[in-house]
Amino acid sequence: MEYRVEELATAAGVRVDTVRFYQSRGLLPKPGRRGRAAIYDAEHLARLRRIRSLVGEGFSLAQIGRVLNEDPHGREGNPILSGLAAQSAVQQTYSRAELAAEVGIPEALVQAVEAAGLGEALEIDGEPRFVEADLEMARAALGILGAGFPLDALLSLSMRHADHVRDVADAAIDLFDDHIRQTEAEDAAITQAFHRLLPQITRLVALHFQRTLVNRALDRLAASEADRKQNLERALAATRSSRLEVEWR
C-alpha cells in the first residue's frame, strides 16, 4: 500500500511534522518519488509505529536509532531493549518550559543547551520532553555557573566532553555485545547483566573522572604561589576525604 505523507501520519497517529522530524534524524527512510510527490509504503508505516512505541517507553532518539540499526525488522525479545525499557520505565517527564521552571533558568537557556548537543529530549506526541536525569544535570550545571564560571566557556568544555563520552559509550556497548550478549544463552540473563552492570559502569566513570581531576590539580600545585597552593591543598584534602555518591535512576 502507498501513502502520501499526510496519509502516513494519519495511519500512524502522528502529525506530519513528526514524520518529517524522524526522517531528518535518520530514523525513518526517505520516501520514494512519483513526480514531485513523496510516496511512503507499508515498511515506512511499520517503522514509524515502532519508533512511536519506543518513544512511548521512554527511549531517547539516539537509543532508538541504535535499536533500529541493530534490529531493523523489529524482532521481539531483544534483551538490551528490555534492559533499557526497565531503566526508562515510569519516569516523570517535563516540557522545556517545565524543566526551566523547576531549575529556575530561562527556557532559552534550555534551548541553547539542546542546540549545543548537550541535551536530547524525548519526542512524545510531537513535543520535546525531558526526564529526571535532565533535571538533575541542569541543577548541577546551575550550581557550577553559580560558582562564577562563564556560560560560554562551560558550554564549550561540555561539548568537548560530550563528544568523547559518545565515543566511549559506543565502545562500551560494543564490549557488552562481544563479551556478554555473545556468551549468555538466555535473554533473561542478558537483561539481568545489563541491570547489574549499568550502575556499576556509571559509578566507575564518575569516580575515574573525579580522581583524574584531583590528580591533575595536584600536579599544578608545584607551580602555584604559596597562598594559592595552601588554599588548593585544603580544597583537595576535603575532596579526598568525602565520599562521592553516584545514584543511577
> How far apart (Å, rounded) are the C-alpha atoms in residues 139 and 105?
9
Residue range 107-128: mean pLDDT, rounded: 77
Is the pLDDT higher at 15 or at 72?
Answer: 15
> How far apart (Å, rounded) are the C-alpha atoms in residues 162 and 172?
15
Residue range 101-126: mean pLDDT, rounded: 79
Question: For the segment 192-239, what is each residue's pLDDT rounded down to a tens digit?
Answer: 777 788 888 888 888 888 888 877 877 776 566 655 666 666 666 666
Nearest to 6 by CA among 45, 55, 34, 43: 45
Grid cell in block for residue 185: 544463552
Question: For the segment 137-149, what is each residue's pLDDT rounded down to a tens digit?
Answer: 888 888 888 888 8
Please check the confidence at residue 101 and state whether its pLDDT lies above 60: yes
Contact 221, 229 (CB under 8 A): yes
Please check the confidence at residue 90 and state whether its pLDDT lies above 50: no
Is the pLDDT higher at 170 or at 242?
Answer: 170
Nearest to 67 by CA among 46, 82, 88: 82
Using CB atoms within 10 A of its CB, is residue 63 exposed (0-12), middle (13-18) or buried (19+)?
buried
Worst-scoring range by mean pLDDT, 11-15, 62-66, 241-245? 241-245
Please check the confidence at residue 248 and state whether its pLDDT lies above 50: no
Please check the confidence at residue 28 and state whether its pLDDT lies above 80: yes
